[in-house]
Structure 1
């Protein structure tokens, strides 16, 4: 019973929802739900994170108003949509079918107005499934830079490449998964388990893609998509699991607002033209039909003005089914109009000043000639023009790779190296190539050679991949040194012999992950553990056991356990290099040899033990409908470590430099702003655009029309509307959700009022400044961080609220400045359904990491 409910929601999306069965008192003490691990200390409990909750219906679906920066785009969209027939509106909102056009997703066109189909294409790291494109560092690497400018520049470059290929919508960036569990398969596509760091990088990426690159961004995956296991029941069944529905993320209202929804608010405020829904259920309702998260949260509270995208199912809920639904009155005409307006508004917001390129590639083959409609085998033509869109993006990729490399350990200035060491030895499978080529595994679905890209739909084809073995050898030979490498983790005896001779041994190790539709080494997307892959641990042990100057380089999609290496006397340096993209080897060589002074910081916590994180993947179904209860609330990653008083191996925000820095002179300035006022007001009544005949006979297929097999069309097969529809649910009593057809003026939530939420949330309440001094001998970049304690009894010990990456000369100083907004100090009221600033003592902390904060002040 999804089709009409989905249409009444949006153009289609994904979402999450709350359980209203506890008098709306989310986040308050609830006697039978306890945070795991807190039983022996002060119990913290969360309502609204229990199995088999229900998500409340929220109708009607809000219609776009064109508020904020969307005004001009809405004016153009309304003028365009007013010209359209019923079929043309339906065509604009409908995907043509899987593998039936060149792009991963493609809408119908409007030939009468010379409007070409919209092309939607993965991925968040580059243009997927084509050639002569770049592979950019993953989102987790961008987060590790803590550099807004690099996030924007990467977004712009990716947008330019998508635009050059004829793409209209880049399916990225990613804020879901946020990273609830460190083993999460797709965490690397996003940024960080911290909502502030993710929100900033998410917003800057969207701006870069849209404002700089000229294509629409699709912010994804909305929301609660925190594990790969059981995300789709059919997929899970293929792996032998007995499940009947997708996994359910059960979460309370406070956690939703203060953690998972937070970065999406930043994305909406940044102007995201599109939002993509996720696979999972939220509180018992599928994300792509969840009226609470789509209608109330996304369109209501966050004031989202754009459109939504859903995963192709093969059988469309749109197309002719949508035509039927409008004609039989199930879906009101204003609902369809709003869908079309939102799509075209996003188009005009982003592409109004650019010339669209024709689609010049096929997602389904790299052959020059093939079938235009690949799945149905029709329309033989040239389908790949092999357009090179890379420009000079390789230099940016190399820079981001180096500037996202985190220096975790550096004993007695073991790094940087000079290249003139008498014998440099490099070890490990992860230092070398995949012998089948960098694209030898479909969608990078293997872990062979160095890890430059993880697997799944978030991948792209490499134009080349510079391995660490190649780049380090080039550096050493140019400096006159001697170089040998052993790239076989199974050759332990020869590894040990080479390590005994080496003056410096550099050993590479990785840990991979990806999307569930590909299984790698028994890992169904999510990692089974937090240890190294490829047998790397034995290689590290043998090398470090034989060389007193061993450097460990880690390529991974998230945290790996490093405690024993952090304490190993012969391991003099450790670097985390993440998922760096096509320039991987050059990027790490730049850092190892001091061409780039590392300034990156960890975007997550590296714990001593897997259990220290307090959350984990549900690997085995706990029922036919798997239930994952977010009982930890907002306490994930460093918030959980702080709450449990666990000491990590390396804390969130930690990273060393070849220089050193000190902090002093904290200043807090209180700004003069008015008190917060909940938003009040109503929308206008739902508008409609244009007229059409209500007679089914006026909407059947045109005479002599040649159909592409399996293609989704807006026309009817029959004048009998029941026969024309393939949806068996139209005749069911009570199927139309209450209120869904109500087009009268609707109240706007108190927390809403503009894209991103109530504008007063973004008022600056305090300006915090501190002096940062480079006490070292070389120029360096320091990521200064500001944390806030909101002071509530169930609040985190501290939360990141601002950061800035500063370049400082030796013995020089720089001023670190962060504006603290009302939103930064606010808590979510589950009773008022609005934000409020709690009457509690609030403290700010400034320093170099989440556990090195030498400056603090009470906000007054």
Structure 2
């Protein structure tokens, strides 16, 4: 680049920076005006509200809602069907913006949240996929609790709402999905446990009063949503063709757990259609399942703006009014954005929907706000009223962000004697790669303003002298600087390469097309490894996996780590693992496939199970038996663990009623419900599996004990399925006993071809690592 061109570029950047600073100042100035929280029933400011029943905190929620709805005109009611609720000044109800986000920290993606000089930032935890790699349920809940504390603190100074549309619990079905980074991975058991724990952390109703929420969580995107924008397939128009079996045993379990076990306050329906019907207009999915079978205590909200999409993009209805009516009658309560509010009145006038349906919808919305204390007056005088700016970005919160990243980092390769590095032995460290000195990349999408950043380069440089060379000017890596990078590697005692992606490669509305590192990253990695005189650590920063077989098989690349998008403290966490201050304990929450896999599997094929007739290989570790680069649950540590089985039954005999048809004819499976499910051991439905775990290495470590089962080959059952997992920390030569409680019909059942749970009779193989145990279920 010539000198004059560089000057012009600097002037342009200066102008952009000035405009950006002015823009931020305007935002902060505007949000500083919101020095007080938004709430209804301000009896101090409006004494006439003292005798109004919907403001009476002693009355039951249902009675308060009935009173409030009865006071509203139809036009006012319609104003509460959209995410930016109008409010009713004559009743002391201010406008309220429902849309806030808290995927891995308080985010400004939603329009209900702002940052200001009062609260300039919030703790930014690792993107969900990395947190999930910790397989630590208590960590999931701890993060949720911190996020809700910071959210409430911001609400109390008028910077945030109370309704947060998180978490994303969709299954990471296809490795190219741009939003896989937001999810807990490909396994329904892990996703369900994450969903419940994070929701409980956010809402803090666990063990308390379910009618007093700290904030309201929302599980999304319901359901079978995992294609955004791949080739000619777009989420707005995609019809997910899903059979009943896959729906029941893959796509629905995390949402069911959210509602039934997590008591989540909201579920968000998705853009896509499922088997020809938009999810937000499907009465079976909404009224039938979420509110009917699962008994949702809360509201159902559309993705933004799904109701508009079903009319304008999907052509599912002939008029906007019909789209509004169909969604309300299906069970939708709240439309993210304005479409429903614009067309609901005309829908009523046309006789497509009646006022009764609108009353039902807003009643669910109001009940949620009442559980949050929105109608209880000044929140500073309520349970969480003491929270404020002092509770955001605390030292403890930031340390938890660092620890969460450490716990999630997955060590995939480690040649003998490579990691951890000894600071005394590494005098010069070469830090190379387009993600080596990044900030925003580390926090993924749905982000806010972090408390602060520590880049990988900064984290490593805090321990040893480090020299930096990006090698590529951006992750697309069109023109790598191979010479400079190789020269630096040749002069250093060790090399850390930080490669991968960012939101220009994988994100919402952008799916990947292959499993290769972007651009010429592979060439850069190979040339640097060839030139290096010391050990080479390859760090992959990304939301999804890659075909890095070239690096796995390259002896010059001594170690490989996957760090997801590790959050604001990512650089510190990476350095902690590389220099041995933390013994890695993360495990992959998704399969890393070879490039050949995606070349023959279209993203649009929703089938989980393989199909021999057309060569379809199936998806995820549960159904795909082919070659992998790295497998689900892979992960190394700096020590070793042994397992020993202590207790597990070899035979479980079921007692059937005398008139049960399987007493007179041979059956391969039974319904996973009924008296036989409780006649296992002394009338109970569960039994214990106990294992002894011993650290046989030379240093303390944290270990995840995975209990899998391989059921009998019936009803297209999985190759193996995760029953449960437990974390244990053990010192050198220390041991512990891990107990798994197995519910026979819940945990050892499979889903048949019509979506019904069945208990398979015959041999089930339980396994933990190389330890295997045969369990026979018989009549």
Which of 516, 537, 540 matches 1:554? Answer: 540
Partner SS state of residue 513, structure 2 = coil
1:19-98 to 2 correspondence within 5 Å?
75-85=60-70, 87=72, 91=76, 94=79
- In the other structure, the counterpart of 1:767 is 688
Structure 2 distance, partners of 1:836, 1:266, is 19
Residue 355 (structure 1) shift: 7.8
Structure 1 residues 522, 126: CA separation in 2 closer, same or farther (over 3 Å shift)? Answer: closer
- In the other structure, the counterpart of 1:391 is 394
Which of 284, 295, 299 matches 1:303? Answer: 295
Residues 655-708 of structure 1 show CA distances to partners (whole Å, capped at 9, x for unaligned) of 1111110011242259999999xxxxxxxxxxxxxxxxxxxxxxxxxxxxxxxx
Partner SS state of residue 817, structure 1 = strand
- In the other structure, the counterpart of 1:736 is none
Residues 438-497 of structure 1 show CA distances to partners (whole Å, capped at 9, x for unaligned) of 46xxxxxxxxxxx30334xx2333343211111101111xxxxx4322123222112111
- In the other structure, the counterpart of 2:428 is 423
Matched, 1:401 2:405: yes
Structure 1 distance, partners of 2:630, 2:541, is 16
Structure 1 residues 304, 155: CA separation in 2 closer, same or farther (over 3 Å shift)? Answer: same
Matched, 1:488 2:488: no
Structure 2 distance, partners of 1:520, 1:215, is 33
Which of 162, 171, 176 matches 1:168? Answer: 162
Matched, 1:857 2:766: no
Higher relative contact order (CA 8 A, sep 6+): 1
For the 8 Å contact 1:73–1:348, the answer to whether it is kept is no
- In the other structure, the counterpart of 1:125 is 104
Residues 284-329 of structure 1 show CA distances to partners (whole Å, capped at 9, x for unaligned) of 1112112222122222232222211123448845437445656776
- In the other structure, the counterpart of 1:806 is 728
For the 8 Å contact 2:127–2:566, the answer to whether it is kept is yes
Q: Which moved more, 1:600-609 or 1:833-842?
A: 833-842
1:122-521 to 2 correspondence within 5 Å?
122-129=101-108, 130-131=114-115, 132-166=121-155, 167-176=161-170, 178-211=171-204, 214-229=214-229, 246-269=237-260, 270-313=262-305, 316=338, 318-319=340-341, 321-322=343-344, 330-349=352-371, 351=373, 389-392=392-395, 393-420=397-424, 421-433=426-438, 438=439, 451-455=441-445, 458-476=446-464, 482-489=465-472, 490-513=480-503
For the 8 Å contact 2:547–2:592, the answer to whether it is kept is yes
Structure 1 residues 655, 73: CA separation in 2 closer, same or farther (over 3 Å shift)? Answer: farther
Structure 1 residues 602, 215: CA separation in 2 closer, same or farther (over 3 Å shift)? Answer: same
Matched, 1:654 2:634: yes
Structure 1 residues 208, 497: CA separation in 2 closer, same or farther (over 3 Å shift)? Answer: same
Residue 641 (structure 1) shift: 5.3
Which of 85, 90, 94 matches 1:107? Answer: 85
Residue 543 (structure 1) shift: 1.4
Structure 1 residues 522, 343: CA separation in 2 closer, same or farther (over 3 Å shift)? Answer: closer
Partner SS state of residue 706, structure 2 = strand
Residue 92 (structure 1) shift: 6.3
Structure 2 distance, partners of 1:113, 1:795, is 57
Structure 2 distance, partners of 1:340, 1:73, is 21
Structure 1 residues 613, 107: CA separation in 2 closer, same or farther (over 3 Å shift)? Answer: farther
For the 8 Å contact 1:512–1:527, the answer to whether it is kept is no
- In the other structure, the counterpart of 2:712 is 791
For the 8 Å contact 1:664–1:855, the answer to whether it is kept is no
Residue 505 (structure 1) shift: 0.7
Residue 759 (structure 1) shift: 13
- In the other structure, the counterpart of 1:747 is none
Structure 1 residues 351, 405: CA separation in 2 closer, same or farther (over 3 Å shift)? Answer: farther
Structure 1 distance, partners of 2:401, 2:593, is 29
Which of 645, 649, 652 matches 1:665? Answer: 645
Matched, 1:525 2:510: yes
Structure 1 residues 96, 344: CA separation in 2 closer, same or farther (over 3 Å shift)? Answer: closer
Residue 528 (structure 1) shift: 2.1
Partner SS state of residue 158, structure 1 = helix
Structure 2 distance, partners of 1:827, 1:218, is 28
Which of 814, 821, 826 matches 2:749? Answer: 826
Structure 1 residues 829, 534: CA separation in 2 closer, same or farther (over 3 Å shift)? Answer: closer
Structure 2 distance, partners of 1:759, 1:290, is 35
Partner SS state of residue 540, structure 2 = strand
1:605-624 to 2 correspondence within 5 Å?
605-611=591-597, 615-617=601-603
Structure 1 distance, partners of 2:71, 2:401, is 45
Structure 1 distance, partners of 2:66, 2:704, is 47
For the 8 Å contact 1:429–1:534, the answer to whether it is kept is no
- In the other structure, the counterpart of 1:837 is 759
Mark the runs of 5 or more structure 1 residues left unpaired by the alignment: 1-71, 98-104, 231-235, 359-384, 440-450, 477-481, 514-518, 618-627, 677-749, 753-757, 848-852
Residue 779 (structure 1) shift: 1.1
- In the other structure, the counterpart of 2:20 is none
- In the other structure, the counterpart of 2:578 is 592
Residues 588-636 of structure 1 show CA distances to partners (whole Å, capped at 9, x for unaligned) of 011111111111111011233341797443xxxxxxxxxx342334899
Residues 68-118 of structure 1 show CA distances to partners (whole Å, capped at 9, x for unaligned) of xxxx99941343333333636875675687xxxxxxx43233445544425
Residue 498 (structure 1) shift: 1.6
Partner SS state of residue 72, structure 2 = helix
Structure 1 residues 171, 521: CA separation in 2 closer, same or farther (over 3 Å shift)? Answer: closer
Residues 765-821 of structure 1 show CA distances to partners (whole Å, capped at 9, x for unaligned) of 232111111001111110000112231431111111100111111111112222223
State the TM-score, normalizing by the size of structure 1.
0.66
- Which structure shows the bigger proportion of residues in helix conformation? 2
Structure 1 distance, partners of 2:463, 2:535, is 19
Structure 1 residues 521, 275: CA separation in 2 closer, same or farther (over 3 Å shift)? Answer: closer
- In the other structure, the counterpart of 1:380 is none
1:716-735 to 2 correspondence within 5 Å?
none
Structure 1 residues 807, 497: CA separation in 2 closer, same or farther (over 3 Å shift)? Answer: same
Matched, 1:540 2:525: yes
Structure 1 residues 498, 830: CA separation in 2 closer, same or farther (over 3 Å shift)? Answer: closer
For the 8 Å contact 1:249–1:281, the answer to whether it is kept is yes
For the 8 Å contact 1:181–1:613, the answer to whether it is kept is no
For the 8 Å contact 1:92–1:107, the answer to whether it is kept is no
Residue 208 (structure 1) shift: 0.5
Q: How many residues align?
A: 625
Structure 1 residues 638, 206: CA separation in 2 closer, same or farther (over 3 Å shift)? Answer: farther
Partner SS state of residue 217, structure 2 = strand
